[in-house]
Amino acid sequence: MRILQMTDPHLYGRAEGQLRGVETDSSLRAVIDEAFAEVPDFAALLVTGDLVQDDASGYLRFRSIFSAVGQPILCIPGNHDIPEAMSRQLCEPPFQICGTRKIDAWQFVMLDSYDPGHVGGRLTPQELARLDAALASDESHAMVCLHHHPIAMNSRWLDGIGLANADDFWRIIDAHSHVKAVVWGHVHQAYDGSRGSVRLFATPSTCAQFLPASDRYAIDLRPPAYRSFQLHADGGIETQVHWVEAMPARQAAAR
Ligand SMILES: [Fe+2]
């Protein structure tokens, strides 16, 4: 089964809206064009937060871009989202916000780490309980998705705005051996690691990127990207980050 992840599109209501010099609408569309051509048989698309850049009208744009897609679009909120507007605009298929989704031999658990008034994230006691219950109720291979990074990214400024209660999160993950992967956005860079038997993945944004391993905030001029996963029935995972090189926003990012 093939799954796509696109993250941090940071859309505005206006098509010309730019984040750090990148037009986020045209950048996302370039990523989609390439992803849907390269991986036409995907079973679902994960969008791991920051769908909009603090602009509720961005959800109309998001909806119009994806509404014709036949596969589920599994979304979670990030710190730049506006949860109430997000739920209102993306309330019907193909969109799903948080919750769980079972596809073939895999269960996807989408968590809400949005913490009002904070750039960093936090899982509420209710959300932690929901995670624990979802994993306890289904022994399928699990992929757990959240916006904020639950591990240190070796980057001082980013590590101050990750998941505040990561210890609580890992206590639950560690208690369920069928969790195969934890996947996040927020960090606008690629990461591929592991913690015990759990694979860990971060994915670059569909717009501007952050420089990896930088102690201070810094932009990376790498192009937009998405990630593809091949999830096997035995729990095995193959994955790849696809950088979308043919993207005019790259020059704009240098401004
Ligand atoms: Fe973001």
pLDDT tens digit sequence for 237-248: 999 999 998 765
CB–CB of 99/68 below 8 Å?
A: no
**194 C-alpha vs ligand 1 centroid, how far in Å?**
23
pTM of the predicted model as reported, rounded to 2 decimal places: 0.96
- Contact in structure between 237 and 197 (CB atoms under 8 Å): no
Q: How far is the CA of 10 from the centre of ligand 1 (A)?
A: 7
pLDDT cut 70: percent of the chain above it: 96
pLDDT band at 250 (very low <50, low <70, confident <90, very high): very low
Mean pLDDT of 73-86: 98
The per-residue pLDDT for range 162-175, each reduced to its tens digit, is 999 999 999 999 99
Ion ligand 1, residues whose Cβ is below 5 A away: 8, 50
Give strand pairing partners of 239: 229
